Structure 1
Amino acid sequence: MGVYVSVRGWLECDATQLVTVREIISSHADDHYSHGWSTPRQQVNWTHYLFYGADIRASALDWFTDQIGEIARIPASDEDGDRIRGLFLASHEADGTTEWQVREGRLVISPADARHRYLDE
């Protein structure tokens, strides 16, 4: 059957960056796990949010982290210098939960805080 990882989290970006994010997601489309991406039904104010939630095979983690890393490298689109930010929790059936931070142009993966252990139960 395989080992699964529950991945859930979000990205924050501006309208210009959102166009590129959608292009990256489309370029990684697999007609299965890529359906875990969603956005609000209607945009509210200036920050655009993209959400991901799916149970994916551990063997597909590189597929997901490759696209998150590519998204993280999208440059700021205006003089404010705001890069894409985000946070994901990934609960691995065997290895426990890790925290994936999208910040400063990269994906930073570290063990999740103990307070998130309830998600593994």
Structure 2
Amino acid sequence: MHRDFLHRLFTAAALLWALPALAQAPAPEVTFGYSAFHERPSSGLDQRLNGFSLGFRHSFDRAWSLEAAFNRQTGTEGGSVNMRQLGLMAGPRYSRTLAPRWKPARTWPKACQRG
């Protein structure tokens, strides 16, 4: 019972602490994706609460759009980023193991090409 009372007390304190911030903060823009709450808000408090709950979604979408812009700038919309294209540092072990995979297919030996 003591723990339940403390839990209720801290919950009420957290709500009282968060309500002014909820009332003053504007709803974050969801730039990427669809949100039914931003489409048809029923009331002001509803809109504020939905904007508050969509904060994590907003940060994820911002990271997604930043990654898309980075891929557009490096010319890799279709797939993963090429390490050599990025110019990342590759140590000796790293380049020794991964460079053969990036080589083109083997051509015929010179003795076969002479005919």
Larger radius of gyration: 2
More strand by share: 1
Normalised by the length of structure 2, the TM-score is 0.21
More helix by share: 2
Normalised by the length of structure 1, the TM-score is 0.20
